[in-house]
Amino acid sequence: MAQTFKLKKGEILFEKDKIIISDKAKTQRNMTLSSSVIWMCLGIVNLYEFEQSSGEFFHSFWAVLTILNFLIFIVTLSRSTKSLIFLDEVKSIKVKQRFRNKMLDIKLKNNQLRRVIQVEETEELQKYIDINFKEK
């Protein structure tokens, strides 16, 4: 029997041997990657400019900003955006809450993380996971 849980903009469908997720993860990932690349390019250009003018404070600021955006870029690349996940690919499933954001983290066997954000029915989802995925 399939079980469906609502997201603010989408849904998660648990079937017998697979999980089907319909959300905007690919769009969000592309936007994050694009903005990180733009900020890294801007940081490198400004690093070069402030190296020439010897503005130490701004040179350090742009160096830190560039490094942070590079780290965000790497973390974003390590996340999965798969919309169809077979249960034999799943290592663990957890419901988490950070501040007011409720999310479902699906850790895959290839060490990628598929994060589903803005889950509405967190308590019901947690009960479903506890019952059906105790071994994961």
What percent helix, strand, coil does the chain show, rounded to 5?
50, 30, 20
More confident residue, 101 or 31: 31
Portion of the chain with pLDDT greater than 90, in percent: 28
In the chain, where the domains are located: 3-7+87-132, 30-77
The structure's pTM equals: 0.76
Q: Give the tens place of pLDDT for each residue, 22-54.
A: 988 899 999 999 999 999 999 888 888 777 776
